[in-house]
Chain A
Amino acid sequence: DAGVIQSPRHEVTEMGQEVTLRCKPISGHNSLFWYRQTMMRGLELLIYFNNNVPIDDSGMPEDRFSAKMPNASFSTLKIQPSEPRDSAVYFCASSLATGQPQHFGDGTRLSIL
């Protein structure tokens, strides 16, 4: 079975550029989560969706970050403009329903120069 698929796996770009991270959740999963992981702050929830609707975006750092889920099989996390402090590994996860165990993708390692 295909797991959560994230792309790209690595992204290196200059500050000020727009960055778009993509996620395809496991088919049939109704909840989707975006996390950011750094050594300093660990794994932080940015936003999560239930049935394609954003439920809690309180973890989104600032207005430069936005996330969409246009349909049940695709979500994007966009950073515009990007800054060096956005450098981190970004994970997408999905679950059958809210509160159920989450299945993580392999992450996107983002470096902003």
Chain B
Amino acid sequence: TQLLEQSPQFLSIQEGENLTVYCNSSSVFSSLQWYRQEPGEGPVLLVTVVTGGEVKKLKRLTFQFGDARKDSSLHITAAQPGDTGLYLCAGANAGGTSYGKLTFGQGTILTVHP
């Protein structure tokens, strides 16, 4: 069974601070996706990283995929209250009969205070 450990579980910061969320596994993934979920809604895809070592930027968000494709990080610069939400990482199975099946981390609940 593939597991993704996400940390920290909870993060409460002030507006303007920087933060990093980590997603680690002992398994190799064909790709890693980051989602953001708000209360009462389903997760919404932020980004997909595919290549080991890949870095993608989405405004103030920077996503990195580990060289071995086993881990990833999400860095937010100058956090704003609108960034508040549940952040989920999800790894896609690299092969076998369940190719593409996503394994989700437990999530990081981020609260940004004005």
Chain B residues near A33: list those with CB within 8 A.
102
Is B111 among interface residues, defined by CB-CB distance under 8 A? no
B43:A98 contact, CB within 8 angstroms? no
A101:B107 contact, CB within 8 angstroms? no
A48:B43 contact, CB within 8 angstroms? no
A49 CA to B4 CA in the complex, in Å? 23
Chain A residues near B44: list those with CB within 8 A.
104
Choose one: A97, A98, A103, A106; the contact of B45 (CB below 8 Å): A103
Is A107 among interface residues, defined by CB-CB distance under 8 A? yes
A42 CA to B31 CA in the complex, in Å? 20
Is A25 among interface residues, defined by CB-CB distance under 8 A? no
Closest B residue to A3 by beta carbon equals: B42
B100:A4 contact, CB within 8 angstroms? no
Choose one: B45, B48, B92, B97; the contact of A56 (CB below 8 Å): B97
Is B7 among interface residues, defined by CB-CB distance under 8 A? no
A48:B101 contact, CB within 8 angstroms? yes
Is A34 among interface residues, defined by CB-CB distance under 8 A? no
Name the distance in Å between B105's Cβ and chain A's nearest Cβ. 7
Chain B residues near A97: list those with CB within 8 A.
100
With most chain A CB atoms within 10 A of its CB, the pick from B45, B97, B107 is B45
A73-113 with Cβ < 8 A to chain B = 91, 93, 97-107
A33 CA to B30 CA in the complex, in Å? 18
Chain A residues near B45: list those with CB within 8 A.
101-103
Name the distance in Å between B108's Cβ and chain A's nearest Cβ. 11
Is A60 among interface residues, defined by CB-CB distance under 8 A? no
Q: Answer whether A104 and B99 are a contact pair too, CB < 8 Å, given A42-B106, A42-B107, A99-B92.
A: no
Q: Answer whether A55 and B97 are a contact pair too, CB < 8 Å, given A45-B102, A99-B92, A102-B102.
A: yes
Name the distance in Å between A63's Cβ and chain B's nearest Cβ. 21
A residues near B (Cβ < 8 Å) are: 4, 31, 33, 42-45, 48, 55-56, 91, 93, 97-107
23 contacts between A and B (CB under 8 A): A31-B100, A33-B102, A42-B105, A42-B106, A43-B107, A45-B101, A45-B102, A55-B97, A55-B98, A55-B101, A91-B42, A93-B42, A97-B100, A98-B101, A99-B30, A99-B31, A101-B48, A104-B35, A104-B42, A105-B42, A106-B40, A106-B41, A107-B42
